Amino acid sequence: MAKQFEMRVEEVPRGQRVELLLGGEHVSGLIINDLQMRVGRAVVHMGGIGGVHTDRKHRMKGYSRRVMEYANEYMLERGYDVSLLFGIRHFYHKFGFACCLPDYRLTLPTRIAEKAKVEGPPARGIKVGRARAGDLARIRTIYNAQYAQRTGTVVRPRTWAGFRMGSSWGSRAVPLVAANARGRILSYAGFDDREDAVTVFELAGDARTYAALLAAVVREAVKRRVESIAFLLPPDDGFTVYARRFGGRLETTCHYAGGGMSRVINLRTLFEKLTPELSARLADSALARRRTSFVLKTDVGALTLTARDGQVSVSRAARGRKPVVSIPQHRLSQLLFGFRTVADVARDPGVRVAAGLGGSKRSETQLLDVLFPFHWAHVSRPDYF
């Protein structure tokens, strides 16, 4: 007689563990990390999928598929808005996930970065040193302020206990802080505790301290005798822009069918939380006075978006003659993360932007461009799951 499988969910410190049991034996599972994530200035409920596994003797039997499908249903029932994961190639697209997060790397030659010591005086009285346990609250505050409008970033709660890792699993984080003459921490940087490389995974805070922080990082590189320093920061990050004066190489790596991937879980609750951000985007545009409504139709539901006098509101998808934007949820997710442009996605199979949204094909695309602009989403490496 074939063994019967069952699904089990239990609460764990960071979220929920989903398990598939076969005859009472654990054979496959994953962790749903219960997190709050930013989309611009909006904050949504995100389920971060991690720890996906199947025991070796039970692989190639479809158990991971059952676990992933169950997890998607479970997140919908538990009130999650979106899901995010960092996955292997050619697997997670089967469950509605699409690539949405590039990897960024700024590489500076150590000998040139040493010029930070003479590139204009840093803020007077700035001292840089290793962070202490009592500095974590201030680091958290600076991080949340720096990334208050950066899509993809995880909101760090008051219970945040520090960096769980450096730039990769197994690497230990070394945080530095830059403080003024009164001892107030103005900025910080975090790098990997390695002897063969200097990789800065996070740097945030007062731009006036950039030179002092860079000089401190350069000293670490010189001590380790490494020829270059890597910074894993977005291209439009304040420090990245500052550091361009020193030359170096700026790389953006976009993954195909793997890496950082996302999907929509609950369309209605997601867009209800996005309305402040969508309204701000509209109000700041040349289309602020536009008055129109359209139906956003996906494979996970539909709703009506109304733009009126710089405000965006959400309501149920009413029947009628309203223009319809049809788009699969995984393509919509790519727009939310700013990974692709509206014009690019509009050419994909299954995507249709009906005429009538703004009186012409061009004007309706302009409105969607305002609501879903191209931008650089980012998740800091210690927040990976």
In tens, the pLDDT along 215-272 reads 999 999 999 999 999 999 999 999 999 999 999 999 999 999 999 999 999 999 999 9
How far from 235 is each of 107, 158, 251, 375, CA to CA, in Å?
12, 29, 8, 10
Strands 103-109 and 98-101: unpaired
Residue 352 confidence (pLDDT): 95
pLDDT tier for residue 194 given thresholds of 50, 70 and 90: very high
10-51 residue pLDDT tens: 999 999 999 999 999 999 999 999 999 999 999 999 999 999
DSSP 331-373: HHHHHHTTSS-HHHHTTSTT-EE-TTSSSSHHHHHHHHHHHS-
Q: Which amino acid is at 359?
A: G
pLDDT digits 0-9 by tens, 129-163? 999 999 999 999 999 999 999 999 999 999 999 99
pLDDT at 1: 47
Name beta bridge partners: 294. 305
What is the C-alpha R_g of the chain? Answer: 23
Label residue 123 by pLDDT band (50, 70, 90).
low
Q: Residue 107's CB: how many other CB atoms inside 10 A? A: 15
Domain segments of the chain as ranges? 5-99+256-263, 103-253, 266-371
Compute the distance between CA of residue 257 and CA of residue 259 in angstroms, rounded to an integer.
Answer: 7
| Residue bearing the bigger pLDDT, 291 or 356 | 291
Rounded Cα gap, residues 16 and 74, in angstroms: 10
| Pair 303, 268: CB distance under 8 Å | yes
CA distances from 224 to 115, 195, 201, 297 (A): 18, 6, 17, 55
Residue 358 scores a pLDDT above 60: no
Residues across the chain: 385
Residue 185 and residue 177 in contact, taking contact as beta carbons nearer than 8 Å: yes
Tell which CATH architecture fits domain 5-99+256-263: 3-Layer(aba) Sandwich (3.40)
User: Class assignment of domain 103-253?
Assistant: alpha beta
Region 200-212 average pLDDT:
96
Most confident of 92-106, 313-327, 362-376: 92-106
Residues 60-82 pLDDT 10s? 999 999 999 999 999 999 999 99
Give 319's pLDDT tier (boundaries 50, 70, 90): confident
Whether pLDDT at 340 is above 80: yes
Residue 291 has pLDDT above 80, yes or no: yes
Whole-model pTM: value is: 0.94
- Across the chain, what does the average pLDDT equal? 94
Architecture of domain 266-371: 2-Layer Sandwich (3.30)
Predicted local confidence at residue 119, as pLDDT: 59
Provide the pLDDT for residue 379: 98
DSSP state of 131: -
Same fold, 5-99+256-263 and 103-253: yes
pLDDT level of residue 121 (50, 70, 90 thresholds): low
When pLDDT is cut at 50, 70 and 90, the band that residue 208 belongs to is very high
Give, as one character, the DSSP assignment of residue 164. S
Cβ neighbours of residue 60 under 8 Å, at least 6 residues apart? none
Q: Which DSSP helix (H) or strand (E) runs through 243?
A: helix 238-243
Mean pLDDT, range 298-307, rounded to an integer: 97
